[in-house]
Amino acid sequence: MLITLKWILICCLIGIFSGSASAFFLVSLEFVTQVRNHHNWIIWFLPLGGLLIGFGYFYCDSKIAKGNNLLLEEYNKPEKKIPFLMAPLVLVSTLITHLFGGSAGREGTAVQMGGTIADLCTKIFKLNHSERRTLIILGISAGFASVFGTPLAGALFALEVVFFSKLKLKSVVFSFLVAYIAYFTVEFWEIKHTHYSIPEVPEMNFSILFWILVVGISFGLAALLFSRSTHFWGKLFSHNIKYPPLRPFIGGIVLVLAIYFIDATKYIGLGVPVIVDAFTVQNTPYDFLLKILFTGFTLGAGFKGGEVTPLFFVGATLGSALSVVVPLPIALLAGMGFVAVFSGATHTPIACTVMGIELFGIESGAYIGIVCIIAYFFSGSIGIYKSQIVKGPKSILYQSIRKKGLKYL
């Protein structure tokens, strides 16, 4: 009984502090975004912002630059305490990235803050390595649930992203508890999340199933391209620029020139207005490709933020563009792409299905569930998180494919 009460107290502490951190982050992110939107000239300072981020990570603690991958590594092999510096450093770095026009997300920041806050409980409550695994799950759950306003998906995401490592029942139960505490904490601070809707959902038939297969494969391939793009740019910068602080500085110069020469301001920042419009307005076929390019380059150069909201952008705009040839409602296609590309890039089809239901309603649940599974299988063997352990049916499938010579998958 005392052990249960202890873990309930831990959930309350993590949920309240992580939720409050996410609330502050969301308010700050909205502020810097508005500053950038009203003063476009500020984008010219992106290289300087990149240099500050580079110096911050290089001279403070280079290992925390791994971000979400550090959390996954510590979950798989608990060894050292996650430096508390990770939370303020990723917060400030993400705000700098968005203020000056980098293309990035926000989930990475919230999850890293949640993981850092959760790991503080290790010393306070004198927890062992096994219990520390549970803490990391709770931190991921709280961060994800609070930043997107999807507690069920947040809890499931934290469990599914580490699913093929050791997982205890205690982690499952408390993952849901901490997700709701973090979610209601953000609600308490009166932070509003973006609302989406799919007003028209046709009745399922064999013809529609065929089209779901087609778009699901397309979303899976987009997820594969996104993951490989981010890893490609990261390797390119690390191999060719040996001094880490110069990577985001040089990357910032390239981004500024690209933004101004091709008028690419719609592809910087979170891109939430473009995502919202994708549910009603048909996007051009290259919108999702340019978002992949700008986000992969931004993160690969060393700027901070996350990948998930850009994945939403890629999926929603691709789905919207496919409405030209696919006889399904544009909002349904955008909604399916919204969660399916995310599913493929993170190997989390269950969490993404639940997220789709939380965001769009149960009416589209069957479509979302099917398309998330298809995208999951067609998105390749490596997602956005290098340290994620991927096993199960997908792993078996791709091991078989590699034996036949298709190693690039």
- What pLDDT digit, counting tens, does each position of 81-102 carry? 899 999 999 999 999 999 999 9
Q: Give me the long-range contacts of 165-169 (CB less than 8 A, separation at least 24).
A: 165/75, 165/76, 165/133, 165/389, 166/130, 166/133, 168/130, 168/133, 168/134
Radius of gyration (C-alpha) of the chain in whole angstroms: 20
User: Residue 363 half-sphere exposure, CB side, CA atoms within 13 Å?
Assistant: 12
Residue 194 lies in a domain: no
Residue 252 lies in a domain: yes
Which candidate, 317, 259, 312, places its Cα nearest to that of 285?
317
**What angle do helix axes 107-119 and 68-76 make, rounded to 10 degrees?**
40
CA distance 355 to 65: 28
Q: How far is CA 361 from the centre of its chain?
A: 21
How far apart CA 97 and CA 361 sit, in angstroms, is 33
Cα–Cα dist 361/364, whole Å: 6
- Whether 214 and 167 map to the same domain: the answer is no
∠ CA 389-396-306, rounded to 5°: 35
Same domain, 178 and 223: no
- In 3D, which of 28, 159, 150, 157 has the Cα closest to residue 98? 28
Are 142 and 231 in the same domain?
no
What are 22's two structure tokens?
A: 């996410």
User: Which H helix or E strand runs over 176?
Assistant: helix 169-188
Of residues 406, 370, 355, the one with CA closest to residue 161: 355
Task: Say if residue 143 is in the same domain as residue 270.
Answer: no
Number of residues in the chain: 409
Of the residues 129, 156, 188, the one at which a domain ends: 188
Per-residue burial over 101-120, b if 16 or more Cβ lie within 10 Å, else e, is: bbbbbbbbbbbbbbbbbbbb
Q: Check whether residue 155 and residue 214 sit in a common domain.
A: no
Any domain includes 409: no
Domain ranges, residue 325: 206-403
C-alpha to C-alpha distance for 375 and 340, rounded to whole angstroms:
6
Phi, psi of 371 (to 5 degrees): -70, -30
Distance CA 158, CA 9 (A): 19
Q: What is the pLDDT of residues 309-368, one digit of tens each?
A: 999 999 999 999 999 999 999 999 999 999 999 999 999 999 999 999 999 999 999 999
For the chain, helix (H) and strand (E) counts, in that order, are 18, 0
CA-to-CA distance for 230 and 232, rounded, in angstroms? 5
Neighbours of 165 (CB within 10 A): 15
Contact status, residue 95 vs residue 109, Cβ threshold 8 Å: no
Amino acid, res. 169: L
CATH number at residue 72: 1.10.3080.10
> Which SS3 state, helix, strand or coil, does residue 79 take?
coil
Structurally, the chain folds into a number of domains equal to 2
Instruction: Supply the pTM of this predicted model.
Output: 0.95
Tokens representing 33 are 């975004």
Report if residue 122 sits inside a domain.
yes
Q: Residues 351, 157: contact at Cβ < 8 Å?
A: yes
Single residue among 188, 215, 230 that ends a domain in this structure:
188
Please give the chain's pLDDT, 409 residues, in tens. 788 999 999 999 999 999 999 999 999 999 999 999 999 999 999 999 999 999 999 988 767 889 999 999 999 888 788 999 999 999 999 999 999 999 999 999 999 999 999 999 999 999 998 899 999 999 999 999 999 999 999 999 999 999 866 678 889 999 999 999 999 999 999 999 999 999 999 999 999 999 999 999 999 999 999 999 999 999 999 999 999 999 999 999 999 999 999 999 999 999 999 999 999 999 999 999 999 999 999 999 999 999 999 999 999 999 999 999 999 999 999 999 999 999 999 999 999 999 999 999 999 999 999 999 999 999 988 899 988 877 666 666 666 666 665 655 5
Asked whether residue 201 is assigned to any structural domain, the reply reads no
Phi, psi of 167 (to 5 degrees): -135, 130
Q: Is residue 246 domain-resident?
A: yes
Is residue 138 one of the residues assigned to a domain? yes
Q: Is residue 197 part of a domain?
A: no
